[in-house]
Amino acid sequence: MLKANLHIAQTDCTLANFDENLAHHCLLAEEALKGGADAIAFPELSLTGYNVQDAAQDIAMHIDDPRLDPLRELSRNITIICGGIELSEEYGVYNSAFMFEDGKGRSIHRKIYLPTYGMFEELRYFSAGQEITVVDSRRLGRIGVAICEDFWHVSVPYLLAHQGAQLMMVLMSSPLRMSPGAGLPPIVTQWQTIASTYAFLFSTFVCCVNRVGNEDSFTYWGNSSLTGPDGTAIQNAPLFKEQVLETVLDFSAVKRTRLHSSHFLDEDLRLISTELQSIITGRKG
Per residue, the 3-state secondary structure of 197-257, as one string, reads: HHHHHHCCEEEEEECEEEECCEEEEECCEEECCCCCEEEECCECCCEEEEEEEECHHHHHH
Report whether 52 contacts 76 (CB < 8 A).
Answer: no
pLDDT tens for each residue of 96-136: 999 999 999 999 999 999 999 999 999 999 999 999 999 99
Give the β-pairing of 218-221 and 212-215.
antiparallel
Q: Give the domain CATH number at 236.
A: 3.60.110.10
Mean pLDDT of the chain: 96
- Please tell me the predicted confidence (pLDDT) of residue 3: 96
- Please tell me the predicted confidence (pLDDT) of residue 180: 58
Structural domains in the chain (count) = 1
- Please tell me the predicted confidence (pLDDT) of residue 214: 96
- Please tell me the predicted confidence (pLDDT) of residue 285: 64
Structural domain of residue 48, as residue ranges? Answer: 3-281
**Burial (CB count within 10 angstroms: exposed 0-12, middle 13-18, buried 19+), residue 235:** middle
Which residues are 168's β-sheet partners?
A: 144, 206
CA-closest candidate to residue 177, choices 169, 186, 168, 167: 186
CA-closest candidate to residue 138, choices 164, 82, 100: 100
- Please tell me the predicted confidence (pLDDT) of residue 96: 98
- Please tell me the predicted confidence (pLDDT) of residue 177: 78
Could you read off the pLDDT tens digit of each residue along the chain, which spans 285 residues? 689 999 999 999 999 999 999 999 999 999 999 999 999 999 999 999 999 999 999 999 999 999 999 999 999 999 999 999 999 999 999 999 999 999 999 999 999 999 999 999 999 999 999 999 999 999 999 999 999 999 999 999 999 999 999 999 999 999 997 665 668 899 999 999 999 999 999 999 999 999 999 998 899 999 999 999 999 999 999 999 999 999 999 999 999 999 999 999 999 999 999 999 999 999 876
CA-closest candidate to residue 261, choices 196, 195, 200: 200
